[in-house]
Amino acid sequence: MTWSIKQGDSRTLLKSVPDRSIDLVVMDPPYGHNQTDGDLASHIKRALGDKDAPIHSRPIANDGPEANDLMRGILPDLDRVLKGGGCAVCCCSGGGGPDPQFARWSLWLDEIFDFKHAVVWDKGPMGLGWHYRRSYEFVLVATKRGGPCRWHDESGKVENIIRPGDFGIRKIIPQATDHPTPKPWQLAARFIGLHSLPGDTVLDPFAGHGWVGEAAVRLERHFLGFEIDEAFCAMARRKIELAASMQGLYTAFAVHKIRPPRGLFDKEMT
Ligand SMILES: C[S@@+](CC[C@H](N)C(=O)[O-])C[C@H]1O[C@@H](n2cnc3c(N)ncnc32)[C@H](O)[C@@H]1O
């Protein structure tokens, strides 16, 4: 399998991707929440009761109001590069305001693609806090127009809710040295498994620390990722390289139908 993380602005980098060359897009754009939302590491002392402790925010690019334009602006190119039946899978914040982003992004996807579903990712209890706690996020799924959505499930039991612990998806509490908004690779793997096959090519235009890339190489897909921040590119490359180097092991366990010791790979991959 091949993989690549390119450093730069996805709006520019996407222009060099040939038409109809990508089987699946999985992405987690900046939500426009101004960098610290959900990042416990940045306000851990306050969370533990020290109300005057400084907040060490770790900004990510384009995470203010410009996030909306960024997300909407790349949709035509994502449509251009996707093959027929290909899907765009887009993480999106849950139901909270002030911007009803889940509604806006769904409608924007539906302007270019056929909107398919808003899957709920239930992250589990968030503990005490103000008003409605943000326990879930949406994962919006849209299909390239003109054909049926690629769908690779034979169970007939795929629900539109991912519950805590499903598919090995674990809650990640970011450490100060991590990406500020890390998502678990198992979440990407769930959608990669449903909407593509081994040997296909997966694109992530907001690669962060490489969560989609890791899932793609583990599932034997080719991967192309764009990330504007050089430090995050380095994190992503390390993560994907490690996953790729362990690919032989995953395959050996699968071929011989041996269940790997519980937690073995996850422990080494986090
Ligand atoms: C919400 S984070 C994705 C984090 C990812 N889920 C992970 O687990 O690492 C969005 C990422 O998009 C990157 N980004 C923002 N604007 C970008 C742009 N125009 N082109 C490429 N990457 C961009 C940010 O640096 C950030 O890493």
Please give the CATH number for the structural domain made up of 3-269.
3.40.50.150
The rounded Å distance from CA 12 to ligand 1 centre is: 14
Residue nearest to atom 5 of ligand 1 (CA): 208
Instruction: In whole angstroms, give the CA distance from residue 149 to residue 173.
Output: 34
Place of tokens 């109809």: 20
Detail the DSSP E strand segments found in 93-172. Answer: 114-122, 136-143, 161-162
Tokens of 89: 């899978």
CA 58 distance to own-chain centroid? 19
Q: What letter represents residue 155's amino acid?
A: S
pLDDT in tens, 68-123: 999 999 999 999 999 999 999 999 989 887 789 999 999 999 999 999 999 999 99
- Nearest ligand 1 atom to the CA of 183 is 8
The rounded Å distance from CA 256 to ligand 1 centre is: 38
- What is the arithmetic mean of pLDDT over 138-152? 96
> Chain-wide mean pLDDT for the chain?
89
pLDDT in tens, 228-245: 999 999 999 999 999 999
Helix (H) or strand (E) holding 24: strand 22-27
The domain ranges of the chain are 3-269
